Amino acid sequence: MPIVIEQLSHTYLPGSALAYPALSDITLTVSDGEFLGVIGHTGSGKSTLIQHFNGLLLPTSGSVHVDGLDTREKKLRKQIRSLVGMVFQYPEYQLFEETVERDVAFGPKNMGLDDAEAATRVSEALCLVGLDPAEFAEKSPFELSGGEKRRAALAGILAMRPKYLVLDEPMACLDPRGRREILALIESLRRDFGTGIVMVSHSMDDVAMYADRIAVLDKGSLYLVGSPEEVFSRGAELIEMGLNLPQATQLVRALRKRGVPIEHDYFRMDELTKELVGRWRHER
């Protein structure tokens, strides 16, 4: 069953002089195994929206159901949070235990699993993120490099084997290699385990490359939902709301200005490269 958001609105500090309506009347479904990208300018409501997916925030009005479970039901939230793993913008700040093993085991043990099952999940999760348990399990999380800390924090979420993985700017401040590795890991989780992915990102190239659908937020409202091709074909609207376009789309526009007749509005660099190489070979 999917994550179903119906007419969701959220107001911070309701009833006070500081009341701030962050989300307004959002209806959206995240299907099983889907990769949904979430984009929008700063302050558009992206982080507020995804924190409703596992009950960290509750609707002021409307509802959020995860596999039929209502996040407003307090007794169901533990079950919901075992289904929806949340990875914040700087997940390494979530590390707190004395060893990597104990940190990764925290989630499974909080789910009520025994020591043997928790240990199995710790080993499995560390291997998934590319950290050898024999080398890293007994290390302090605070001895790790920045990239290793991020992987260890992600392992702590994966050890709970969530059905959905919700990520808020997971590549923030990573170098190009680190970005590629995290994206490859996210895609492998979907491919190998059927994990549904919801990823907030400021990188139009990342969502263009990996997302099945993209949700565009603007001023707390859901402006548009569609495939990458549908969303990025409306480039003028995206630019007007303060968003960039994928590099491939920007390059197509620049080439057209120079008289190169490219008919298709490419949004993935690999596809544009294929056309340009084919055109070059044909013209030789």
CATH 2.60.120.10 fits 3-227, yes or no: no
pLDDT value of position 284: 64
**Average pLDDT per 10 consecutive residues for the chain, totaling 284 residues:** 95 93 97 96 95 96 97 94 89 86 93 92 93 95 86 91 92 80 88 93 93 97 96 94 93 89 87 83 69
Q: What whole-number distance in Å separates Cα of residue 181 and Cα of residue 151?
A: 10
pLDDT value of position 31: 94
Residue spans per domain, the chain: 3-227
pLDDT value of position 248: 93
